[in-house]
Chain A
């Protein structure tokens, strides 16, 4: 099917162009931040000569366009430069933090996504009866409570009182998978509660929308039971909006969990970014921005692609 390949290629190309534009925005944004980078590295007592030397060394005297191209070239070959504050290699530090973040997001997603979709289907099956209302009430309540509060409450009950799981979700390479999973049990629970409602409500709404269609009535008339109708006929036709909202939530799990990281002392990307923003460590901020943008654009692209593949009308545009 060459048409599909052409469509996918178009999507991916669009995603890359978008990422390029975003990289320009990030670079420009960090350029107009107040304060001189050399000054913030050397501190108040820096002499003018030392400042001038450092500016030359960092290439701050080159025209912005040239610096942007250099930075972009480095980023594309995996070289994100070195952190100004600690002199550490950014690619290596980010790789470690990003893998931690992805580890947490992965396990939260593994639990939250199937659970949300299952609860959504359940809510449709028992629409307007007590299971539907109970599911909606619980998930909406959990999305409405600030995540740090859910975190503290679970920490108090499960870590301090019952001592089932640790309150400090510190993971490192010497731990076995079982130990790691035990360490992240609490943050995964909180993240699941936070993202559940959005995906569940969307699943419910999308499927209910499809349930009005004539072919659902046909399926019912031919004698299929409630779950079969929903699962075989309604769900495949509602997949595009569900995947969209799932992807948005996955992106949130990767880029938006700094509060959870702080509360559970999890060594992920969020804390890493915040530490460097407060020290005006621009190369790290740029690198994190680029990675977060790539994650967002990438996941949305996946959502688009799934939507195209799952919908024959989009597969064969006029």
Chain B
């Protein structure tokens, strides 16, 4: 491209030329607005992150009842809070691999049963204390053990012993687990001084920010930690505001009161994107919306009936109408291409004839009752109505019962044999399957008990050869698609939005929404 234009773009980025003037000059040189805009972005990236400024974020999901204890963190707001002040041992990077945080490096014994994490030298907590291997061991202990309330307990169960040796923390497992480092990236497991045993809610950690003003469920202000070791955390001040109402959150971004929001409603995302100063980002992720059947409860203990329902759902229609295109079709397995060792198995399509065939083979007569509620996933009652209609074309009499939001997760989900629900996904196949599809899983919400599946899961966990593991996970996906109680019509994209005051968005980062909740740390405020 034209040298002069590059020169102008650098000036524009440095603030010596306004964006408008730059665009006018670029147009005079014969470049389209789109090309000039792209160039401006590239130059801004090349100039590197800018320091300082205040980043204001509007988030959904916070409540007055939230706790600062990372063990009790459950929603987007508390997750992002933890990211601000603390760090786990390792963290998922944008490509799906792992970067060291509090741990400088890690290694496994040959059988993947003993893992050694080396604590980073010279880093301190925000209270000035140095980070020791002892702190790490105590943190892991606090999240294990039967009396902990930690959300990470499920992934800590396989740990037999935690010990320290100089700067090293040694984790011994009951059974081999090739994915242990991924488990250590769990957001509950941020390293706290003394493991946070004395004061779990002190919010003292090694993160890039220090919390200044905390009003849970309302507003949180954080200032840059001057002693932070790493190179993320560019803004001087971060202000997080809890805005649970969708319309209010979008309006706050449009009126320039916040620079970044999560959960743009898919229905209006395209309208929001039309504003010139707003960028809407759609990121595919592991989150999915599901219809779950209990494989051990009549009538869903009949494999043919389960197959009839699986063939009776129109997946593409749901992606188009419920997600408004912000998502991808599912294949009755909780795994998609966002997982590291994913192989696609043959896609199941909507097929009324096969559905009718399996319905006949099942011998089931009369209606099938599906329970749903507004909060089981956004648009769940609509999705249930679509399912009802597509089933009707296959001769299946699906009856939809609307349940109240209040109490849905205690009274309906994991209790009633057929209902709508959602999963946020996990970073690895092993974690997802262990959480919800292993015969003995606490949250086996499809009551899926398959011996072959369990054996494959344990074998894959111990397997360090990636090719063999990939094949095992493909086999498990097939078993689940054909035998399981999960109807997974769609994977929902994360739809976030930022104003053009910010720069540094990374497309398709792995993990949770908002660049795995790292956008406040990795993005910057443009000067």
A267 within 8 A of B: yes
Q: A167-B257, A276-B64 are in contact. Are A172 and B219 (CB under 8 A)?
A: yes
The answer on a CB contact under 8 Å between A163 and B258 is no
The answer on a CB contact under 8 Å between A279 and B241 is no
A9 within 8 A of B: no
- Report the Cα distance A45→B146, complex, angstroms: 9
Identify the stretch in B119-127, B134-142, B244-252, B348-356 within 8 Å (CB) of chain A at 4 or more residues: B244-252
B173 within 8 A of A: no
- Report the Cα distance A267→B241, complex, angstroms: 11
Interface residues of A in 156-200 (CB under 8 A from B): 156, 159-160, 163, 166-168, 170, 172
Q: Which of A87, A152, A262, A275 has the most CB of B within 10 A?
A: A275
Q: A45-B153, A172-B219, A262-B244 are in contact. Are A167 and B66 (CB under 8 A)?
A: no
Chain A: which residue is nearest B243 at the CB level?
Answer: A265
A27 within 8 A of B: no
Chain A: which residue is nearest B275 at the CB level?
Answer: A160
Smallest beta-carbon distance B89→chain A, Å: 25
B65: A residues at CB distance < 8 A: 83, 85-86, 275-276, 279, 281
Q: Which of A86, A87, A264 has the most CB of B within 10 A?
A: A86
- Report the Cα distance A264→B146, complex, angstroms: 42
- Report the Cα distance A93→B214, complex, angstroms: 12
- Report the Cα distance A263→B63, complex, angstroms: 15
- Report the Cα distance A262→B243, complex, angstroms: 8
The answer on a CB contact under 8 Å between A168 and B406 is no
A206 within 8 A of B: no
Q: A50-B147, A271-B64, A271-B217 are in contact. Are A168 and B258 (CB under 8 A)?
A: yes
Residue of A160, A263, A278, A279 touching B245 (CB-CB under 8 A): A263
Interface residues of A in 219-233 (CB under 8 A from B): none
A312 within 8 A of B: no
Interface residues of A in 95-121 (CB under 8 A from B): none
- Report the Cα distance A218→B67, complex, angstroms: 69
B213 within 8 A of A: yes
B516 within 8 A of A: no
Smallest beta-carbon distance A312→chain B, Å: 49
Number of residues on chain B facing chain A (CB within 8 A): 32
Chain A: which residue is nearest B239 at the CB level?
Answer: A170
A43 within 8 A of B: yes
Smallest beta-carbon distance B392→chain A, Å: 35
Interface residues of A in 273-312 (CB under 8 A from B): 275-276, 278-279, 281
Q: A152-B247, A172-B215 are in contact. Are A167 and B252 (CB under 8 A)?
A: yes
Q: A170-B241, A262-B244 are in contact. Are A159 and B255 (CB under 8 A)?
A: yes
Residues 5-42 of B, flagged 1 when their CB comes within 8 A of A and 0 if not, give 00000000000000000000000000000000000000
Residue of A167, A272, A276 touching B251 (CB-CB under 8 A): A167
Residues 16-40 of A, flagged 1 when their CB comes within 8 A of B and 0 if not, give 0000000000000000000000000
B256 within 8 A of A: yes
Chain B: which residue is nearest A97 at the CB level?
Answer: B64
The answer on a CB contact under 8 Å between B146 and A167 is no
A211: B residues at CB distance < 8 A: none
Interface class of chain B by DSSP: loop
Interface residues of A in 60-107 (CB under 8 A from B): 83, 85-87, 93
- Report the Cα distance A152→B216, complex, angstroms: 25
B248: A residues at CB distance < 8 A: 155, 167-168, 262-265
The answer on a CB contact under 8 Å between A156 and B245 is no
Chain B: which residue is nearest A100 at the CB level?
Answer: B218
Interface residues of A in 125-172 (CB under 8 A from B): 152, 155-156, 159-160, 163, 166-168, 170, 172
B257: A residues at CB distance < 8 A: 159, 166-168
Number of residues on chain A facing chain B (CB within 8 A): 33
B523 within 8 A of A: no
- Report the Cα distance A156→B248, complex, angstroms: 10
The answer on a CB contact under 8 Å between B63 and A170 is no
Chain B: which residue is nearest A278 at the CB level?
Answer: B406
A14: B residues at CB distance < 8 A: none
- Report the Cα distance A279→B407, complex, angstroms: 10
Q: A43-B149, A47-B146, A86-B67 are in contact. Are A170 and B251 (CB under 8 A)?
A: no
Residue of B66, B216, B251 touching A159 (CB-CB under 8 A): B251
- Report the Cα distance A272→B216, complex, angstroms: 10
A267: B residues at CB distance < 8 A: 215, 218-219
The answer on a CB contact under 8 Å between B256 and A163 is yes
Chain A: which residue is nearest B63 at the CB level?
Answer: A275
Smallest beta-carbon distance B504→chain A, Å: 24
- Report the Cα distance A318→B242, complex, angstroms: 58
Smallest beta-carbon distance B422→chain A, Å: 18
B254 within 8 A of A: yes
Smallest beta-carbon distance B366→chain A, Å: 31
Interface residues of B in 216-238 (CB under 8 A from A): 216-219
The answer on a CB contact under 8 Å between A86 and B216 is yes
- Report the Cα distance A43→B248, complex, angstroms: 32
The answer on a CB contact under 8 Å between A275 and B255 is no
B58 within 8 A of A: yes
Residues 45-83 of B, flagged 1 when their CB comes within 8 A of A and 0 if not, give 000000000000010000111110000000000000000
The answer on a CB contact under 8 Å between B255 and A166 is yes
A314 within 8 A of B: no
A42 within 8 A of B: yes
What would 16 A/B residue contacts be, using CB atoms closer than 8 Å? A47-B146, A86-B66, A152-B251, A160-B251, A160-B254, A167-B248, A168-B258, A172-B213, A262-B244, A264-B248, A265-B242, A265-B243, A265-B252, A267-B218, A275-B217, A278-B63
B-side interface residues toward A, CB under 8 Å?
58, 63-67, 146-147, 149, 153, 213, 215-219, 241-245, 247-248, 251-252, 254-258, 406, 442
